[in-house]
């Protein structure tokens, strides 16, 4: 059973063990390197010119920014020639559409029986962002709906206490997957099966006035599940809509030392700046230990391999060595789904085998970050200074240096510019999904990296931002910020129209 912690749980770092990175083959840094890194990653105070190497946000892995929709689909620029084939084969698996069993295409069968998408790129459009439905009458596009229900009682608390043994004295009230619908709604199904239901939304326009007289409008969503096949979900169900995030730079994020991310934690806001980021803490099925969560909108996965395997299982019903159940998200009460035909009875063992999962993970790890555009433009530099001045960098941390690695030259010892601290932050009631997940509360989200954000429309054909795509542009995304980000949002609101446009120009250059 998946247990997740609400507000107050795990308020302090679990242990020094969380700073260990068992998924990486690390070459220790020298004292000289530590000093150089500290100097290179200090926030700048000089906005008269670009910083050294700022034009290459992915370090040596950065690729030239193209003017096409393939801007997020290129391999790391420093990828060895002999690895380009691995990248291309992984791309083929990422793009392929799976089919239901039984099928003559044994390498591609095993879809479902219930599912959210037929392939990875069905949601990660051109390796970029997904998008929400435009109206209540439109089937959800490239997104999913997480589900949970609260659990009470001594038995539930005993399970949580065991889960957190030695890590926290006060076990939290848990939430668990829905007893019938599981942890994710499946709006599609293979022949002979019936979809669980349909994601629907109503959008309400809310005007916002700036002090200078300009106005904006925000879309507030009201999400619901229509036509639930297995009966009502209940009044206590927690819904969390998620659009697929962009895929670039994941391998670089995976290579950031956990200790560097943990150094940004301030759960009690000891410095009084209003920012109290907390590390996500998740159980790794690959290493059977607690690890730092890095991936997903609430940082629910520790490694790219785990995130990929979880998506195969949850989104497509495809079993893997990490998640071997061939029925994916079908709950024990969905007997017909569990008894349906599956694709795990051949030489692969699971519907995607270890080789296939490794290839997809390698592909995801090496999707390159495009170079910055107009990095030396005076308006971009002025916008950068405003971004710093109003406090955005308190969460959108500009720079890291990755581990030196013995087996991943593409991600090894790179100065990168993701503009994220990869911590959980309370974003206020306006953005709350009110669904805890692992250590994250119902109001907390992982700070998303901003690299490539200015190419969203070029790659994905839209400019929908935030976890559920409610923001139609970057201005709306900023206006939705609350909680720990309220002061930065208010700083943006108080700017003149010219300065607001200047700050947005900087974001569009990322």
pLDDT in tens, 22-54: 999 999 999 999 999 999 999 999 999 999 999
DSSP state, residue 399? -
pLDDT in tens, 337-376: 999 999 877 777 899 999 999 999 999 999 999 999 999 9
How many Å from the N-terminal Cα to the C-terminal Cα in the chain?
40
pLDDT in tens, 275-309: 999 999 999 999 999 999 999 999 999 999 999 99
Contact yes or no for 129/246 (Cβ under 8 A): yes
Does 135 score more than 70 pLDDT? no
**Tokens 């010892």, residue?**
413
Q: At what angle do helices 378-389 and 497-509 cross, to 10 degrees?
A: 100
- Return phi, psi of residue 236, to 5°: -95, 5
pTM: 0.93
Q: Give dist(CA 503, CA 473) in Å, integer.
A: 13
Res 115: pLDDT: 96
Contact yes or no for 388/406 (Cβ under 8 A): no
Does 315 score more than 70 pLDDT? yes
Q: Which parts of 388-481 are beta strand (E)? A: 400-401, 404-405, 415-416, 424-426, 444-446
pLDDT in tens, 440-499: 999 999 999 999 999 999 999 999 999 999 999 999 999 999 999 999 999 999 999 999
pLDDT band at 156 (very low <50, low <70, confident <90, very high): low
Does 166 score more than 70 pLDDT? no
Res 154: pLDDT: 54
pLDDT in tens, 207-237: 999 999 999 999 999 999 999 999 999 999 9
* CA-to-CA dists, residue 214 to 210, 219, 284, angstroms: 5, 17, 48
Question: Which whole number is the average pLDDT over 396-422?
Answer: 98
Res 158: pLDDT: 53
pLDDT in tens, 107-119: 889 999 999 999 9
Res 406: pLDDT: 97
Q: CA 177: distance to chain centroid? A: 20
Does 173 score more than 80 pLDDT? no
Does 317 score more than 80 pLDDT? yes
Share of the chain above pLDDT 90, in %: 84
- Return phi, psi of residue 157, to 5°: -65, -35
Average pLDDT over all residues of the chain: 91
């Amino acid at each position: 059973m998946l247990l997740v912690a609400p507000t107050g749980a795990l308020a302090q770092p679990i242990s020094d063990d969380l700073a260990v990175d068992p998924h990486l083959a690390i070459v220790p840094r020298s004292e000289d390197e530590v000093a150089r890194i500290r100097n290179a990653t200090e926030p700048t105070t000089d906005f008269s010119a670009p910083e050294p190497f700022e034009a290459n946000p992915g370090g040596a892995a950065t690729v030239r920014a193209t003017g096409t929709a393939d801007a997020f689909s290129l391999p790391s620029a420093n990828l060895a020639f002999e690895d380009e084939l691995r990248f291309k084969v992984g791309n083929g698996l990422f793009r392929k559409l799976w089919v239901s069993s039984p099928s003559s295409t044994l390498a591609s069968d095993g879809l479902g029986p219930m599912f959210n998408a037929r392939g990875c790129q069905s949601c990660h459009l051109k390796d970029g962002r997904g998008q929400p439905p435009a109206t209540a009458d439109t089937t959800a596009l490239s997104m999913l709906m997480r589900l949970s229900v609260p659990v009470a009682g001594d038995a539930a608390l005993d399970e949580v206490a065991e889960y957190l043994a030695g890590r926290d004295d006060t076990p939290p009230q848990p939430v668990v997957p829905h007893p019938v619908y599981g942890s994710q709604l499946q709006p599609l199904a293979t022949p002979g099966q019936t979809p669980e239901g349909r994601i629907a939304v109503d959008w309400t326009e809310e005007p916002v006035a700036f002090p200078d007289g300009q106005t904006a409008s925000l879309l507030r969503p009201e999400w619901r599940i229509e036509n639930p096949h297995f009966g009502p979900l209940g009044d206590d169900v927690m819904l969390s809509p998620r659009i697929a995030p962009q895929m670039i730079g994941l391998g670089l994020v995976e290579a950031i030392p956990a200790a560097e991310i943990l150094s940004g934690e301030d759960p009690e806001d000891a410095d009084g700046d209003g920012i109290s980021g907390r590390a996500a803490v998740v159980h790794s099925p690959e290493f059977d230990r607690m690890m730092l969560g890095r991936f997903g909108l609430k940082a629910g996965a520790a490694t790219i391999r785990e995130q990929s395997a979880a998506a195969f299982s949850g989104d497509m019903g495809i079993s893997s060595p990490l998640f071997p159940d061939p029925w994916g998200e079908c709950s024990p009460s969905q007997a017909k789904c569990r008894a349906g035909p599956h694709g795990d009875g051949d030489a692969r063992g699971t519907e995607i085998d270890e080789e296939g999962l490794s290839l997809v993970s390698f592909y995801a790890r090496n999707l390159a970050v495009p170079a910055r555009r107009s990095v030396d433009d005076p308006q971009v530099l002025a916008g950068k200074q405003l971004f710093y001045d109003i406090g955005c960098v308190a969460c959108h941390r500009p720079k890291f240096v990755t581990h030196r690695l013995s087996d991943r030259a593409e991600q090894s010892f790179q100065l990168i510019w993701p503009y994220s601290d990869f911590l959980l932050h309370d974003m206020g009631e306006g953005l709350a999904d009110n669904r805890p997940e692992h250590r994250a509360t119902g109001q907390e989200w992982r700070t998303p990296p901003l690299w490539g954000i200015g190419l969203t429309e070029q790659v994905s054909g839209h400019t929908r931002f935030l976890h559920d795509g409610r923001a139609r542009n970057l201005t709306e995304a900023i206006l939705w910020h609350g909680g720990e980000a309220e002061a930065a949002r208010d700083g943006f609101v108080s700017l003149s129209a010219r300065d607001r446009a200047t700050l947005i120009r900087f974001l569009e250059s990322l």
